[in-house]
Amino acid sequence: MKKAVVALGGNAISPPGEIDSITNQFKHTRKSLDAIINLLQQGILPVITHGNGPQVGNAAMRTEITSDLTPYIPLGINVADTEGGMGYMIEQSLQNRLRTEQIDRDVVTIVTQVEVSADDPSIEDPSKYIGPALSEEEAHNGAKRFGWQIKPFEKGLWRRVVASPQPIGIVNARVIQSLVDAGNIVIAAGGGGVPVYRDERGNLEGLDAVIDKDKASALLAEEIQAETLYILTAVPFVALNYGTPDQEDIEHLTAGEARRLLKEGQFPPGSMGPKIEAAIRFLEGGGKQVIITSLDAVRKDTTGALGTILTL
């Protein structure tokens, strides 16, 4: 079978505008698996990654609300906790679906450490918003109590900001590759993985930060020598002039064209930009193709080709 990394967006499991209960998360997880089964039936062995934005924000909020009663849990542990919990949901749901479909594959979740540089500039100047929008007074109180770094968000509102360093290595890459090469379906690098760095002795240390899920997925795909990276998002195609009357869906892009359009500002940093950066990285690192499309498109399409296809 062909190897592919399939990056599910965090909103695939926790859509906006809905109560983020575990029951609802399981419901949406099961629905998302139509796409995974479709790929398996096409002879594609998926390594599944996923976002955790809504979930890690909720986990951080819970630890702040209960900080007078239980020990404060740092962000890095919240990332690991949500990676494990969401991995369990995907793993169990997929095991049940594979049984129904009579597909004989084992599924395993790896809580994945992802290495970053201790000198990454985002650590000194964090800009990734997490958690709810707060009044200026509430945000400063949180900063004083919990050591947050905060920045203005929208008019009259502030939010906590954290570092989002670039991933430079998948610590668990060899074991993930061995599991995939043996025919197993692996769930890994959830939420971008747990950020770690090397200290002066070369030992791993945790970092309170978050890593972009698509960039971590691209690096994982490169390190396990996957042929294809699927980045599943809310739209079926990458578009020029997105959200305007002149919007134009793109079916094919080269890495060079994507880089040019990125520099021209076609792909904003808060939405499509990181996905395009991840695609370029994967292709220039030896990957064959990237498909950026929606979960629904992969669920319905039997060729695996619907969406924007990027090649070198």
Residue 213 appears among annotated catalytic residues: yes
Residue 10 appears among annotated catalytic residues: yes
Residue 263 appears among annotated catalytic residues: no
Query: Any idea of the CA torsion for 156, 162, 164, 169, to the nearest 10 degrees?
Result: -170
Burial zone of 133 (CB within 10 Å; 0-12 exposed, 13-18 middle, 19+ buried): middle
DSSP-assigned states of every residue in 238-254: EEETTTSTT-EEESEEE
Q: Catalytic one among 131, 191, 275, 307?
A: 275
Residue 128 appears among annotated catalytic residues: yes
Residue 144 appears among annotated catalytic residues: no
Q: Catalytic one among 51, 76, 128, 172?
A: 128
Distance CA 18, CA 232 (A): 20
Instruction: Tell me the sheet residues that pair with 7.
Output: 49, 231
Q: Catalytic one among 11, 24, 58, 184?
A: 11
Q: Catalytic one among 9, 10, 191, 287?
A: 10
b or e along 238-256 (b: 16 or more beta carbons within 10 Å of the residue's beta carbon)? bbeebeeeeeeebeebebe
Q: Catalytic one among 76, 213, 215, 287?
A: 213
Contact between 286 and 265 (Cβ < 8 Å):
no
Active site residues per annotation:
10-11, 128, 213, 275
